[in-house]
Amino acid sequence: AVMPGLLLGDEAPNFEADTTQGRIRFHDFLGDSWGILFSHPRDFTPVCTTELGRAAKLAPEFSKRNVKMIALSIDSVQDHLSWCKVRALGGPQGQLVLLPCSKGCRKCPCRLGGTSVASQSVAVLKCRAGMGRVFSIFMEHPTKSRVFVFGPDKKLKLSILYPATTGRNFDEILRVVDSLQLTAYKKVATPVDWKPGDSVMVVPTLPDEEAKKLFPKGVFTKELPSGKKYLRYTPQP
């Protein structure tokens, strides 16, 4: 039988695996943090190389948001070791990112501005026996790339599927994380094209009187032809 992929609200499997940061158990790795897992179709794909370079560069931004990143690829350990020699240009200052891919990569000069990528940014899982169930879940579309965002409760909050020819937009991933974290703790939703600092929407289940108390900066309603006043906005709390 084919193992179905994760659905929103599902709990992440608590797998154990070797990574560039040593052996981990996934739930322990996340701890009380948010987590992002990136799946990659295979090693030596040029699009994925640029993505991990970008992820390493943005590691401080994700860290500010209490987000841990981990990447998953499907090829052999030997391929991971060879991919470790690949360099991707990262950042306007031209820092060189050497992608870490397995435990053996500890011997490689993995550096981003003098800081080890393996220890500071993206942990990369290596394929091993016993990981079949994990791969069947996270690599449901083995020729495509996915982004999984998990909350501190270890449940899936967002999943995006990309074709292998389209690089993931990390600015959008950061924006989505900001929205997920804001809406997880406040009774608001974020409207189309929302960016941090923009007004947000009051959730429909919140009565007007309670909304006024909860959002002292004020609640305003957008006028609609129907006359219904369900588009309620407030400055971002």
- Indicate which residues carry an active-site annotation: 48
Which tokens sit at 6?
Answer: 């994760």
46-57 and 170-185 helices, crossing angle to 10°: 50
Total residues belonging to the chain: 237
User: From CA 99, how far away is CA 88, in angstroms rounded?
Assistant: 8
Task: Provide DSSP, 47-109.
Answer: HHHHHHHHHHHTHHHHHHTTEEEEEE--S-HHHHHHHTT-EEEETTTTEEEEPP-SGGGGGS-
Closest to 5 measured CA to CA, from 104, 142, 199: 142
In which residue are the tokens 């009380």 written? 32
